[in-house]
Structure 1
Amino acid sequence: MNGAFNYGAAFSRNIGWVTEDEQAALQRKRVAIAGMGGVGGVHLLTLARFGIGAFSIADFDTFDVVNFNRQAGAVVSTLGQPKAEVLSRMAKDINPELDVAMFPEGVSDANLDTFLDGADLYVDGLDFFAFAARRATFAACRRRGIPAITAAPLGMGVAFLCFTPESMSFEDYFCLDDCDENEMALRFLLGLSPAMLQRSYLADASRVNLAEHKGPSTIAACQLCAGVIATEGVKLLLGRGGVPVAPRGYQFDAYRNRFTRTWRPGGNRNPIQKIGLAIARRQLAGMKKASHHG
């Protein structure tokens, strides 16, 4: 069956938005993606359809029924199967010539250098609360000169940030040192989404529980993230088109029909961010109190 596959024909409809030479260049690129869950899996499949030729993918988890609302690859027939293996199969069904390096143990200090070997771009697909792995991965990308991008699925929208070797660093932007996990979660959320466009239509605040690492999510947001990641990722890989870098970013919320460019010099040290964090802490305390009384 693979004999019927032809790279040029398979991705010929990309030509026009990219040139034939650019498509050939994408075939030679490697993208590393940590996390094959809500956003990571759909990032992989979307970039595979753009004709990227090689991937390094990492995830230690298996598919569960609670993944069905948003995760590419989460279907009845894949229940209990490793996410990395399932997504690798799906990507190779799109392009049988793909070079996929799998890291079924996830990313860690022990394998980060191998995971990032040869990567032209890093795409963040880690779970929201995987702070240690995320910090280590972004730091390794900076050391190795690899652009690193993230798109957060928030409500029914997307918030985008890009960190390059020349931009503000992930650590300087988010300021995650010297705080507990709840505070890390608040700083990460507000850093991703300074405009917080999604906040006004949260229908049931009791579903947000930072202590238990739980929060609502939608497929609409995950697919918006994939479109943004693929677009900005291809621009970075081809060296064309402006990509905003930290402390600049943007958020698009489809539910509210709002697009906002964000700029937070100093990241979470910015005075506006500090006010936002103080408000978020009070709101979180109020939600906890209400849930205890309930």
Structure 2
Amino acid sequence: MGTFDYHEAFSRNIGWVTEAEQATLRRSRVAIGGLGGVGGVHLLTLARLGVGRFSIADFDVFEIANFNRQVGATMATLKSSKIDVMASHVRSINPEVDLSTYPGGIQAECVDAFLEDVDVYVDGLDFFAFSARRLTFAACARKGIPVVTAAPLGLGCAMVTFGSGGMPFEQYFGWDDCDELEMSIRFLVGLSPAMLQRGYVADEERINLAERRGPSSVAACQLCAGVAGIEVLKLLLGRGGVRFAPWASQFDAYRMRLVRTWRPFGYRNPLQRLTIMLVKAQLERMARRAPSGIRHEP
């Protein structure tokens, strides 16, 4: 086995970043909540960019249903702790990494420790992890930590970044006055106001927000990691060019389209409210076409 050398390991980054900036990445700490479809590949992408310090949280184990998109999911890791598997992957890339692990996931009693000395938080939580997401985003807002959320919607990536001077998370998504189904709809539309993923769904029966299920693909997860990784790089290096909410971005690889949206007033924006209504109507139509003959709530 060879000897690890940080400078040689990440030397091919130099050119897109300077030697001094690479040293900044080495000193930076990124927190990632959730190590599934996007969280796991976020972690490996940032590790290969040379980020030297991480705080990671996940309570789950790998299942066969994870094989289509989660970078740590293999027959060898089946039923293994996601956090243990991904920690091993990161240490095999950078044996000198400073890694703090939270195998119980993000909880109220540990969120402050999880975010201690963190420069950027990257949201890798499950789409429907509403309580953990609200807890973490609120803590980041109190601590002045920018948040990058990149979601694999359709066959592409939708991204919203929250930070100082931008619109707060709760104001943008508007979760204070609604149930979980409404939260999921507002979250979906807030992440992708352009809704580029509409129109090429191959099997609508696979989408049911009330039952917390929907399709995802490794291609979209990897797009998210690339997009979010560069956003994190810009934040850590102070490069500028980051647009905070109510700006959002969506790149759809299937359509080969990039759209950047601006929604002042967040979910209360007239365009946003119209899109929410359209999504609800589409879900209602899908519910009526349920194959069992039983009308399900959308």
Which AA in structure 2 matches 1:75? T
Q: Which residue of 2 aligns with 1:139?
A: 138
- Larger helix proportion of the pair: 1
Q: Which residue of 2 aligns with 1:245?
A: 244
Number of aligned residue pairs: 293
Q: Which residue of 1 aligns with 2:22?
A: 23
Give 1:166 deviation, angstroms.
2.1
SS of residue paired to 1:244: coil
Which AA in structure 1 matches 2:293? H
Per-residue CA shift, 1:119-139, capped at 9, x if unaligned? 000000000000111011011
Q: Does 1:293 align with 2:293?
A: yes
Alignment of 1:206-221 (within 5 A): 206-221=205-220
Which AA in structure 2 matches 1:33? I
Per-residue CA shift, 1:183-209, capped at 9, x if unaligned? 111000000000000111111010001
2-structure distance, mates of 1:221, 1:35: 17
Alignment of 1:82-93 (within 5 A): 82-93=81-92
Give 1:244 deviation, angstroms.
1.1
SS of residue paired to 2:197: helix
Q: Hey, which bits of structure 1, 4+ residues long, moved more than 3 A?
A: none
| Identity across the alignment (%) | 60
Alignment of 1:44-63 (within 5 A): 44-63=43-62
Q: Is the 8 A contact 2:57 2:83 kept in 1?
A: yes
When normalised by structure 1's length, the TM-score is 0.98
SS of residue paired to 1:77: helix
SS of residue paired to 2:107: coil
Alignment of 1:83-122 (within 5 A): 83-122=82-121
Alignment of 1:72-83 (within 5 A): 72-83=71-82
Q: Which residue of 2 aligns with 1:36?
A: 35
SS of residue paired to 2:264: coil
Q: Which residue of 1 aligns with 2:128?
A: 129
Q: Is the 8 A contact 2:193 2:248 kept in 1?
A: no
1-structure distance, mates of 2:248, 2:271: 15
Q: Which residue of 1 aligns with 2:178?
A: 179
Q: Does 1:13 align with 2:21?
A: no
Q: Does 1:263 align with 2:262?
A: yes
SS of residue paired to 2:199: helix
2-structure distance, mates of 1:279, 1:256: 20
Q: Is the 8 A contact 2:33 2:105 kept in 1?
A: yes
- Unmatched segments (≥5 aa) in structure 1: none
2-structure distance, mates of 1:116, 1:249: 24
When normalised by structure 2's length, the TM-score is 0.97
Q: Which residue of 2 aligns with 1:151?
A: 150
SS of residue paired to 2:150: strand
1-structure distance, mates of 2:21, 2:139: 28
